[in-house]
Homo-oligomer: A and B are copies of this chain.
Amino acid sequence: MSLLVVGSVAFDAIETPFGKTDKIVGGAASYIALASSYFTQNVNLVAVVGDDFPNDFIAHLNVHGVNTDGLQVKKGEKSFFWSGKYHTDMNSRDTITTELNVLGDFDPIIPDAYQNCDYLMLGNLTPKVQQTVIERLTKRPKLIVMDTMNFWMEIAMDDLRKTISMVDVLTINDEEARQLSGEYSLVKAAAKIQEMGPKYLIIKKGENGALLFHGKQIFFAPALPLEEVFDPTGAGDTFAGGFIGYLAKTNDISFDNMKNAIIYGSAMASFCVERFGTERIVNLNNDELKNRISEFKHLVKFDL
């Protein structure tokens, strides 16, 4: 089924305890589009870059089957740029630079050929822009998944609450779930957030896995214990890309199939953190993915 991906396509410069990069390609939608492309060849991208953005990455997205007709390239302008430095625990980081550039006045134009999409993945962006995307679709998608972050809770809570009320699945991390709900217990937080609109909530806990909530039902997916987490940048987006890609492929949005989708998302994320940026997820093969899924199965299987 067709999948519309909206989010940032950008540059990052990353420092981790293992090394540092110059400007490399990043952005939520880059990770989401790449990750989802392993599941469906019907991925349509809406994003904006400046004319400093490398054509070869766009070509690479196309090779992956990602339609980039909706990727606006702004002449004489610069792409969004973020740089940050991770602490030793890799769970926290300091932002060094944020240059909005083309993202400052991003107007998400949906090409006609993108209309009637079945699945919509809203990567982290200004909530107002995410909302505009939903409003510009002539037919509501079968499933709308939205990612966001604490930054918007601090500066645009009203917009954020409005956008959240329009989606089916919200993905946030544990601290964000606490901040959004005002509840420390994740079970209580999940109940409150579901009252805000989304029938499904995914709480991402980094190296501690992810929880899917739907009414009173809870599913837990572990993260794969890794020898080395090299660079966590984009792991949450890659997770979201694997999740929505698998749902679009199977076209089954039952709670049981969402469990499978979360395992695929977790598997994709486990690759992402093994190298800087998108390096590890640009060229995965089927056997690698199959073996990783098998590792997840063994990790939690018991016979009671």
Contact A220 B188 (CB under 8 A): no
A284 contacts partner chain B, Cβ-Cβ < 8 Å: no
A302 contacts partner chain B, Cβ-Cβ < 8 Å: yes
Inter-chain pairs besides A208-B208, A218-B225, A300-B300, 15 sampled, C-beta below 8 Å? A185-B228, A187-B227, A188-B228, A208-B209, A209-B222, A211-B225, A218-B299, A220-B299, A221-B302, A222-B222, A222-B300, A259-B301, A259-B303, A263-B302, A263-B304
A236 to nearest B CB, angstroms? 17
Main SS class of interface, A: mixed
A255 to nearest B CB, angstroms? 11
A57 contacts partner chain B, Cβ-Cβ < 8 Å: no
In the bound assembly, the distance between CA atoms of A126 and B221 in angstroms comes to 37
**Taking CB as reference atom, which chain B residue is nearest A262?**
B302
Contact A225 B220 (CB under 8 A): yes
Report which residue of A186, A205, A222 has the largest number of chain B beta carbons within 10 angstroms of its beta carbon.
Answer: A222
**Complex contacts, A301 vs chain B, CB 8 Å:** 259
Report which residue of A185, A188, A229 has the largest number of chain B beta carbons within 10 angstroms of its beta carbon.
Answer: A185
**B-contact bits for A267-304, CB 8 A (1 contact / 0 none):** 00000000000000000000000000100110111111
Given A208-B208, A209-B222, A222-B209, decide whether A188 and B302 contact each other with a Cβ distance below 8 A.
no
Selected contact of A260 from candidates B211, B221, B293, B302, CB within 8 Å: B302
**Taking CB as reference atom, which chain B residue is nearest A217?**
B298
Report the interface size for chain A: residues with CB under 8 A from the other chain: 35
**Complex contacts, A218 vs chain B, CB 8 Å:** 225, 299
A271 to nearest B CB, angstroms? 16
Contact A184 B227 (CB under 8 A): no
Given A185-B229, A187-B225, A187-B226, decide whether A219 and B260 contact each other with a Cβ distance below 8 A.
no
A55 contacts partner chain B, Cβ-Cβ < 8 Å: no
Contact A219 B304 (CB under 8 A): no
A288 to nearest B CB, angstroms? 16
A231 to nearest B CB, angstroms? 14
Selected contact of A299 from candidates B205, B219, B297, CB within 8 Å: B219
**Complex contacts, A299 vs chain B, CB 8 Å:** 218-220
Selected contact of A227 from candidates B89, B185, B222, B260, CB within 8 Å: B185
A92 contacts partner chain B, Cβ-Cβ < 8 Å: no
Contact A89 B303 (CB under 8 A): no
Given A185-B228, A187-B225, A211-B225, decide whether A219 and B293 contact each other with a Cβ distance below 8 A.
no
Contact A304 B300 (CB under 8 A): no
